[in-house]
Amino acid sequence: MKIVSIAAIAAALLLGVSSSAMAVERGGTMTYARYADSLFLDPVLNDANVDIWVLSNIYDTLLLPTDDGQGVQPGLATEWKTSDDGLTVTLTLRDGIKFSDGSPITGEDVKWSLERAAKPDNGIWQFLVASIASVATEGNTVTITLAHPDPAFISALTVFNTAIMPKALFEATPGATDAEKAQAFGEHPVGSGPFMLASWERGATMKLVKNPYYWDKGEDGQPLPYLDGLNFEVIPDDATRILRLQSGEVDGAEFIPYARVEELKGAENLNMEMFPSTRVQYISLNVRPQIDGKDNPLSNPKVREALNYATNKEAIIQIVTHGVGTQMTSFMSTATPLHTGTDPLYPYDLDKAKALMAEAGFPDGFSTSLLVLAGNQDEVGIGTAVQQMWGAIGVKLELQQVDNATRTQQYRDGTMQMRVAAWTDDIADPNEITSYFAYSPTIDALHSGWKSEEADKLFEASQSEIDPTKRAEEYARIQEIFNTTGPIVPLYETPYPVALSKTAMGFNQIPLGNNIFRAAWLDK
Amino acid sequence: MSLVPYILRRLLQLIPTFAFIVLVVFILVRLLPGDPASAILGDRALDADVNRINAELGLDQPLPVQFIAFVKAIATGNLGNSITLKLPVTDLIAQRMPVTLMLTVMAALIALVLALPLAFLAALQRDKLADNAIRGVFQVGLSMPVFYLGIILLTVFGAGLGWFPVGGYGEGFLDHVHHLILPALTLALSLAAILMRNLRAAIIGVVGAEYVDFARAKGLRPRLIMIRHVLRNALISTVTLFGLSIGTLLGGAVITETVFAIPGAGRLMIDSIYGRDYPVVQGMTLALAVCVSLTFLLTDIVQAYLDPRVAR
């Protein structure tokens, strides 16, 4: 009942009407326009948002994220409990659950799937479940033993890489290695999500149909999903994607450019949705003492502060996001659990910035460069704006437009000075973003060379801290350290702009980005 | 005179051309900064992940070793697997090339259908209203960027009038044709403009030539003069231009395919270059090179037919 009511509330919120006034309708195929196609439908070995954000429609997890993306609700498991010492997690599997081919989901499938996700060197998401020591099942009970207490573990059981897959079917797939089997299996995936893959024409259309064995029930007491089918159409060009929605050929379109949000809000047959997200946009700085043998001004914390104060974030929000964005109050988004801070970081203050530059020994500024993604309107806009703003404190900024692979290489080998970047969480926990941003052993704090012994220690402690209050305190302090001395210029948070036809109901994109169609329906 | 020895000679010449293309592409994609693993895994990947994946792909081997493995694979018809899409490159070529070829062929036909009669009309009405109007319209078509023209056509004939689908490729041959008309027209306009101008100039030149005056003096019928003497001679340079333009059309398909959401080879090529998907870039380049070379060959054959001196 809990899920049903959540779906009803979500639907009511989306529609702005009371749930009783609008009865759901079943049937039909919803067509959703995406900016890019998926690449690889394996929950464990995928590496991109284009996969992650649609996987949950095909593969189900033991637990599900709540609609606000911050909590946990039952999935294939109905109950879950963590032992007092934090070392054992016990879950109860739902009765009668089946894969989309009709075969039962057994404890063996659960054990195998979780152990596959936790196997070192198997994909880039292993760290999310690295605490798993062993998995045992008996009847409907799954007992997971952890190597150390892991406060984020329950959230990890909602993440795509812990999806339950059919062991026997996977192992019977041709291929010598796990990776080869995954490649073949990913072409014809079988999971237990609300939909199953019917056909996939790469780069064009992915057709999903209703999984008749899906466990959850809708408002009308009948099994979900409401839709008979769900088609994803790949339309890379923003203008064409919108045009196709306006002509009624698709029911929804993702990644509406900020410049067109206002216009589509006024469109009669459309709902312009701004789904809350965990997306943060920032400039990442290389703070090593030297770059290419030359002294690096950005290694001076005062210079970084000066750049921050000289950045008029509100102006950038207006220029680049057309007012859609909001100022960041911490390096992690406000939608991330344990986020702290209420005031925008570094309010624009040119005098303070100038004073800090003088204090740092750069009264006349210096020259530096910023990598922006070639052809990306947002990044080029940000680059042009800060080029002008920082000119006021004497910083001569050269914009270097490069493609993503080039940028990533310069970022990795530490030769870049600055770059524009964005981040979205994959788990409803602050540990992922903190590990990459502030914990130096992971990737040198965004490959910046920044390091805080205190932040590193706090993060390590927080990773096995089972007292929620203490963990919150640890995260509050990490954020304080990073936000005041860290290697970034925070810019803004933005929601996910999705335009839906007035007849497309019940769709949700949670803050982690997942596109949830299980309770979507068409008002025919 | 038989054209067969000439064609055989030209086919043989293609072999070193392809070998050279294979080598150049192999080196060029590896000269691009970045590597497949970090391009796929993005910012977040740990160095260990990047090294592991590059090693799995054999990219930690010395370049000559990689090249020999690549050539050996080509010899057996295996172009490797896509790194990002995890599919055999030959499958991808089989899926995507027909789409782009169909788009290119339709665009070429539209360009011819537009350019030939209008060039005649313009040449015969030289400097009169019709000539100026035709040249003016084509000048606009030529100077409009493909992505802009595409969006205008989609807005007017797709979303507005509903005559054509707003992008996509459809299912089944006739549906494909229906979907490809607007993108083919977009692609065709600039080519039509170039062909029209070239052919118009050629016709004007030929019409004033002495042998045409002579034919006229002999009292040949104007239609016969037009077809046998004027058209045949005027077409020679236009055919060459047309053949060479097919390569440009294939290149232009990249943008057209993006604007019209067509799953063709151009879009795959761009995605693969961004993703540093070496096997796909190599395989697609080879496939495109084969298409372009065959078009050039065909052009030369037609030219040799029109002007037998060429084949000597």
Q: Could you give the CA distance from residue A237 to residue A153 in angstroms, rounded to a whole number?
A: 39
Are residues A53 and A513 in contact, defined by beta-carbon separation less than 8 angstroms?
yes
What is the per-residue pLDDT for A70? 86
Residue of A nearest to B277 (CA): A405
Do residues B105 and B183 touch, judged by C-beta distance below 8 A? no
Give CA torsion, residues B203, B292, B16, B4, to 10 deg: -60
pLDDT band at residue A18 using 50, 70 and 90 as cut-offs: very low
Instruction: Say what the pLDDT of residue A4 is.
Output: 44
Does A13 score more than 50 pLDDT?
no
| pLDDT of res. A22 | 66
CA-angle at B207, arms to B119 and B112, nearest 5°:
25
- pLDDT score, position A7: 47
Q: What is chain B's mean pLDDT, rounded?
A: 85
Report cis status (omega within 30 of 0) of the bond before B98.
no
Q: Hey, what are A491's tokens?
A: 């810019």
pLDDT higher than 60, residue A496: yes
Beta bridge partners of A197: A208
B261: chain A residues, CB-CB within 8 Å: 204, 233-237, 240-241, 244
Domains and CATH numbers, chain A: 2-9+26-232+503-522 (3.40.190.10), 277-495 (3.10.105.10)
Residue A405 half-sphere exposure toward CB, CA atoms < 13 A: 22
**Integer Cα distance of A60 and A55 in angstroms:** 8
Question: Is the predicted pLDDT of residue B2 greater than 80, yes or no?
Answer: no
Nearest residue to B38 via CA among B236, B270, B275: B275
Q: Does A9 have pLDDT greater than 70?
A: no
Hey, what amino acid is at A46? N
Mean pLDDT in residue range B81-105: 90
Within the 43-82 window of chain B, which residues sit less than 8 Å (CB to CB) from chain A? 43-47, 49-50, 52, 56
Give the per-residue pLDDT at A372. 94
Size of interface A-B (CB pairs under 8 A): 124
Confidence of residue A8 (pLDDT cuts 50, 70, 90): very low
* Rounded distance between C-alpha atoms, residue A7 and residue A309, angstroms: 43
Question: Strand (E) positions, A374-505?
Answer: 396-402, 418-423, 488-501, 504-505
Distance CA A408, CA B44 (A): 10
pLDDT for A21 equals 47
Say which DSSP state B125 is in: T
pLDDT band at A394; cut points 50, 70, 90: very high
Kind plus residue range of the DSSP H or E element containing A482: helix A468-485
Other Cβ atoms closer than 10 A to A385 = 19
Q: Name the range with the highest mean pLDDT among B37-46, B192-201, B206-215.
A: B192-201
Burial B79-93 (b: 16+ CB within 10 A, else e): bbbbbbbbbbbeebb
Is the interface score ipTM higher than 0.90? no
Average pLDDT over every residue of A356-370: 95
DSSP class of A104:
B
Task: Say how far apart CA B126 and CA B122 lie, in whole Å.
Answer: 6
Give yes or no for A235 touching B (CB within 8 A): yes
pLDDT band at A89 (very low <50, low <70, confident <90, very high): very high
Separation in Å, CA of B254 to nearest CA in chain A: 12
What whole-number distance in Å separates Cα of residue B220 and Cα of residue B222? Answer: 6
Nearest to A489 by CA among A394, A348, A378, A339: A348
- A139: phi > 0 → left, psi -120 to 50 → alpha, else beta; which? left
The minimum CA-CA distance between B134 and chain A, rounded to whole Å, is: 30
Residue A136 banded pLDDT, cuts 50, 70, 90: very high
DSSP labels, B242-284: HHHHHHHHHHHHHHHHHHTT---HHHHHHHHHHTT-HHHHHHH
Q: What is the pLDDT of residues A183-218, one digit of tens each?
A: 899 999 999 999 999 999 988 999 999 999 999 999
Q: Residues 6 or more apart from A475 whose CB is under 8 A from it? A: A338, A340, A430, A434, A458, A462
pLDDT level of residue B205 (50, 70, 90 thresholds) = confident
Nearest partner of A210 among A194, A198, A199, judged by Cα:
A194
The larger pLDDT score, comparing residue A456 to residue B214, is at: A456
Minimal Cβ distance to B84: which of A39, A239, A412: A39
Q: Do B166 and A202 touch (CB under 8 A)?
A: no
Least confident range of A175-179, A205-209, B73-77, B178-182: B73-77
Q: pLDDT averaged over chain A?
A: 92
Q: How many whole angstroms separate alpha carbon A77 and alpha carbon A96? A: 11
Residue numbers in B near A234 (CB within 8 A): 261, 263
Closest partner CB to A236 (pick from B41, B165, B261): B261
Q: Residue B311: what pLDDT?
A: 65
- What's the confidence (pLDDT) of residue A299? 94
pLDDT band at B312 (very low <50, low <70, confident <90, very high): low
More confident residue, B84 or A171: A171
Q: Is the pLDDT of residue A19 over 60?
A: no
pLDDT at B275: 87
| Percent of chain B whose pLDDT exceeds 90 | 13
Within 250-279 of B, beta carbons closer than 8 Å to A belong to: 258-263, 267-268, 274-276
pLDDT value, residue B212: 79
CB–CB of A246 and B86 under 8 A? no
pLDDT for position A5: 46
Alpha helices in A289-392, H assignment, sequence order: 301-309, 313-321, 350-359, 377-391
For B283, list phi and psi in degrees, rounded to 5: -65, -45
| Plot region of A513 (φ>0 → left; ψ -120 to 50 → alpha; else → beta) | left
Structure tokens belonging to residue A460: 């390590």
Could you tell me which residue, B184 or A414, shows the higher pLDDT?
B184
Give tens-digit pLDDT for A442-489. 889 999 999 999 999 999 999 999 899 999 999 999 999 999 999 999
Mutation target vs A (from B86, B182, B271, B274; most A CBs, 10 A cutoff) = B86
Contacting A residues, span 177-206, partner chain B, CB-CB under 8 Å:
179, 183, 186, 201-204
Cα of B13 to nearest chain A Cα, Å: 35
**Looking at this protein, which amino acid is placed at residue A252?**
G
Question: Is pLDDT at A33 greater than 90 in this prediction?
Answer: yes
Q: With beta carbons less than 8 A apart as the criterion, state whether B283 and B78 touch.
A: no
A133 inside 8 A of chain B by CB:
no
CB contact under 8 A, B43 and A408: yes
What's domain B89-306's superfamily in CATH?
Answer: MetI-like (1.10.3720.10)
Q: What's the pLDDT tens digit per position in A35-79?
A: 999 999 999 998 888 999 999 999 999 999 998 888 899 999 999
pLDDT reported for residue B213: 80
The residue written with tokens 């440009």 in the block is: B248
B268 CB neighbours in chain A (<8 A) are 203
Distance CA A352, CA A190 (A): 59
For residues B119-129, b (16+ Cβ closer than 10 Å) or e, as one string?
bbbbbbeeeee
* Strand (E) or helix (H) holding A240: helix A238-246
pLDDT in the model for residue B214: 82
Q: Render pLDDT for A312-326 as a digit per residue (tens, 0 to 9).
A: 999 999 999 999 999
Chain-centre distance of CA A196, in angstroms? 23
Q: How many angstroms separate the CA atoms of B265 and A250, rounded?
A: 24
